Structure 1
Amino acid sequence: MLELMLSALFTVVPDFLYRRYVQKKRWGHEITLFNVWYELRWGLTACTILAISLITIIFFYHPTTSNISVTFRTLTVLSERGGRVDKVFVRNNAKVKAGDPIFSLDKTRQEAAANTLLRRLDEIEAALGLVGTEIAGAAAQFEAAEVDLRQAEDDLERRMLVAERNRNVVSEQELTQLKTKVSRAQSQKEVALATLTGARLRQSSVLPAQRESARAVLREAENEIAKSTVIAQVDGTMTQFLLKPGDIVNPILRPAGILVPEVSGKGRLVAAFRQISANVLKPGMLVEITCASKPLNVIPMVIDEVQEAIAAGQFRPGDALLDQQDRARPGTVTALLKPVFPKHLEGVPLGSACAGVAYSNRAEKIETGAISGISAVVARIVDGMGIANAIVVRVQAILLPVKALVFS
């Protein structure tokens, strides 16, 4: 409307004045409602062309968008294992600090397993104490077997010497019995040595390995007990948290709630502009927005960053070939905005929907001489046309409560 009125001021109005005061044509006589197009055809044609040109220039160099939002990140509250809720420590919409417990699961089975492992460790420690006695007994048996073996060998050697001097004194049966006694003593010594070696091996390797294995399983059981209590990792607010003792929680099928971090979404807004504005949007451009959650206010922002990629072009490998014509929407250019005055964002809740307009400003290039001559004059005029969109934004801020409350 503003562009049309401005265009008519320089086209239709002069044409009408020329016909009225130069050609002496009067409204209602020579100029009527039926022949107004013929009489003012030059002014109306020029007005249409000028209005379309002004609208195109204004919206190209001062892009507008109604898709600005205060985005924020959420964290799903999940337990690392499934189970039945035992205790709930916070309520819905409660503020939590990092490290605060949120809820705990029933850990009766895990505690029973941990107690069993503690008893197992006690048994192993007792076995380590007992194996020392076994080693002492095995060592004594080994020494006794060695004494018996030496005695048997001495008896055999002595009787064999006697037999060599006089074979009638020692019979073959006696020598056979002595040899059998030596073999038996040798076997008893080997058995005693094996028993001693096995006892020492149990003391040095088997029982310590069993102890470490039991300790590892105990640590696993204690870890499962620790997982039973879900703890907040960041400061934030609990939302959609209606958990009660006795509910079943599953990390895949049934999360417990949502945690909104305090640092998420603070001071940065996401704006989506049409692709035709991709070469106009630059970091540092001034943007004015008005939000539905804070009506009658215009908040000055500045473009902090422009996303290089357009989301509509992304693809994920799958089992079907991608056909470009299947993409219904062309996508938008994403720009991140930050406030010129951070206090102006106070009272704007996270997730608020806003509308705004960006203003091109080439004053610095003109002052440095990067733009000069006629180009500088045109740049000044184009930058000044942003006042039309500035008026529109303020009108939107004023009419927003009326549209939302009366005409919605």
Structure 2
Amino acid sequence: MLELLFSALITIVPDYLYRRYKQGKRWGHEITLFNVWYELRWGLTACAILAVTLITVIFYFHPSTRNVSAAFRTVTILSDRAGRVAEVYVTNNETVAAGQAIFRLDTTRQEAAAETARRRIDEIDAALGVITTDIASAQAQVVAAEADFLQATDDLERRQSLAERNDATVSEQELLRLQTAVSRADGQRTAAIAVLDGMKLRQATLLPAQQETARAALREAEAEIAKSTVFAEVDGTVTQFLLKPGDIVNPILRPAGILVPEVTGQGRFVAAFGQISASVVKPGMLVEITCPAKPLTIIPMVVDEVQGAIAAGQFRPGDVLVDQQDRARPGTMTAFLAPIFPEHLEQIPPGSSCVGVAYTSRAKQIEAGEITGFSAFVARIVDGMGIANAIVLRAQAILLPVKALVFT
């Protein structure tokens, strides 16, 4: 409307004045509703062209958006494993500090596993004490077996020496019996040594390994018990938290609630501009917004960062060949806004939806001599056209309460 009124003042009005005072035509006589197009055709045509041009220039260099929101981060309250809730330490909408316990899962099975591991450790410790006595007994058996072997060997050697002197008292059958006795004693000695080595190996390797395995099982069970208690990672407020003892919690299918951090994301707004504004919206650009949460207030912001990618173009490999025409929504360009005066955001809760206008300003380039001559003159005019959007934004700030409270 403002652009149309301005265009009419410099096109239709001069055309009418020329017809009225230069050609002597009067409204209601020569100029009527039936021939107004013919009489004022030049002014009407110029007004339409100029109005469209002004609207295009203003909305291109001073883009507006109805998608400005105070984005904030939320933390899902999840447990590391599925289980039944044993205790709940907080209530819904309660403020918690980092490290504060929120709820605990039932740990009966984990505590039983930990107790089993402790008993296994005690059993192995006892076995380590008993194995020392067994080793001493095995060493005694080795000594006895070696004595028997030496005795059998001496008997055999003595009988063989008598046989070599042709002593008739030594028969061949007795020599065979003594050789068998030596072999049996040697086997018993070897078996006793093997038993002793096995016990020493069990004392030095097997039992310590079993002990470490039991300790690892105990640490695993204790870790599971420790993970059964869910703690708050950051300071914030617990919301949508209706957990009760006996409920089942699953980290995939059923989270416990949401934790809204106190600081994360506050003070920074996210604005979505049309793709046609990608070459205009730059960091450092001035933006004004107004929010229903704080009516009748214009909040000055500045573009802090512009996202380098448009979300509508993202691609994720799957089992279906993507057809580009299926992407119906063109997507918007995302800009992050920071407040010039942070105190203006005190009464605006995170998640508020706002409207805003960005203003192009090339004053620094003109002062630095980067834009000169006629280009500088046109740049100043284009920058000044932002007043039209500024007026519209203030009108929206006035009408927002009326629209929200009356016309909805």
Task: Using structure 1 for the length normalisation, give the TM-score.
Answer: 0.96
* Structure 2 runs not aligned, ≥5 long: none
- What's the offset of the Cα at 1:2? 1.0
**SS in structure 2 at match of 1:321:** coil
- What's the offset of the Cα at 1:316? 1.8
Q: Spell out the pairing of 1:243-392 with structure 2 (5 A cutoff).
A: 243-392=243-392
Q: Does 1:53 pair with 2:29?
A: no
Aligned mates of 1:314, 1:192 — CA distance in 2 = 75
- What's the offset of the Cα at 1:296? 0.9
Letter aligned with residue 220 of structure 1:
E
Give the corresponding residue for 1:122.
Answer: 122
Give the corresponding residue for 2:21.
Answer: 21
- What's the offset of the Cα at 1:184? 2.2
Give the corresponding residue for 1:197.
Answer: 197
Give the corresponding residue for 1:150.
Answer: 150
Q: Spell out the pairing of 1:25-174 with structure 2 (5 A cutoff).
A: 25-174=25-174
Letter aligned with residue 392 of structure 1:
V
Aligned mates of 1:366, 1:190 — CA distance in 2 = 104
- What's the offset of the Cα at 1:331? 1.4
* Structure 1 runs not aligned, ≥5 long: none
- What's the offset of the Cα at 1:21? 3.3
266-275 vs 61-70, greater mean Cα deviation? 266-275
**SS in structure 2 at match of 1:397:** helix
* C-alpha RMSD of the superposition: 1.5
Aligned mates of 1:313, 1:119 — CA distance in 2 = 60
Letter aligned with residue 329 of structure 2:
R
**SS in structure 1 at match of 2:76:** strand
- What's the offset of the Cα at 1:210? 0.8
**SS in structure 1 at match of 2:49:** helix
Aligned mates of 2:356, 2:58 — CA distance in 1 = 14
Aligned mates of 2:18, 2:291 — CA distance in 1 = 46
Aligned mates of 1:60, 1:160 — CA distance in 2 = 122
Task: Using structure 2 for the length normalisation, give the TM-score.
Answer: 0.96
Aligned mates of 1:186, 1:98 — CA distance in 2 = 73
Aligned mates of 1:318, 1:161 — CA distance in 2 = 93
- What's the offset of the Cα at 1:67? 0.8
Identity between Structure 1 and Structure 2 (%) = 72
Aligned mates of 2:273, 2:316 — CA distance in 1 = 24
- What's the offset of the Cα at 1:12? 1.9
- What's the offset of the Cα at 1:166? 4.2
Aligned mates of 1:320, 1:187 — CA distance in 2 = 74
Aligned mates of 1:207, 1:293 — CA distance in 2 = 70
- What's the offset of the Cα at 1:380? 0.4
Give the corresponding residue for 1:184.
Answer: 184
- What's the offset of the Cα at 1:217? 1.5
Aligned mates of 2:374, 2:173 — CA distance in 1 = 137
Aligned mates of 1:184, 1:67 — CA distance in 2 = 98
